[in-house]
Amino acid sequence: MVQFKTVYQLKTINEMLAQVGSADTEMVEHARKAMLFFENERKEKDSEEALVLGVERLLKLYFGRAEDRFIGIEHWHIPNEEVPEFLWFRQSINEKILRVSGFSSALFLITGLREAILGENVYWTERHNQQLKNTKEWIEGYVASRTPSQQILNLLII
């Protein structure tokens, strides 16, 4: 079964895109109904793949095909198996920012950070909370330092 956190993240992203994208009310309602269907779909251990696929479909729904977009949009899903290290993050962020560098405005969406920090642990502790806060601050600072001053870049970490 698709995990609740995956569906919740997709619903959050859908509502955010409905506010910033060129959203038709019928299209937004269609996406919400698709989320209900997705929530009831039965599959084993597909939450990470389902999240990546769901986000890509939502971005296509709201902004069209990647080659037809007027704004740069990049989605980076941090795999659960990866150990959160700034060196690895730096390399991935550099790749994503390079892809949106030619646009005057861009959206950079990051998912999976919380799960990557939790790792194999079962419980979320205060140490995890502090590590999440520090990592988010580092990502925000690094992205801000790598973004050209004339570009408007929106960073969303879910």
Does an H or E element contain 119, and which? Answer: none
Note the Cα 82 to chain centre separation in Å: 16
The pLDDT tens digits for 33-53 are: 777 776 666 555 556 777 788
Structure tokens at 37: 């269907």
Q: Do residues 72 and 105 make contact, with C-beta atoms less than 8 angstroms apart?
A: yes
Which one, of 4, 78, 80, 72, lies nearest residue 35 by Cα?
4
- Classify residue 62 by burial, with Cβ atoms within 10 Å: 0-12, 13-18, 19+: buried
In Å, what is the CA distance from 8 to each residue of 11, 39, 51, 56, 148?
5, 9, 10, 16, 33
DSSP assigned state of 74: E
Neighbours of 59 (CB within 10 A): 21
**pLDDT digits over 126-143, tens only?**
999 999 999 999 999 999
> What's residue 158's pLDDT?
83
- In the predicted structure, residue 2 carries a pLDDT above the cut 50: no
Q: Give per-residue pLDDT as tens, 63-120.
A: 778 777 788 889 998 887 656 677 788 888 999 999 998 888 888 999 888 888 888 8
User: Which DSSP letter does residue 42 get?
Assistant: -
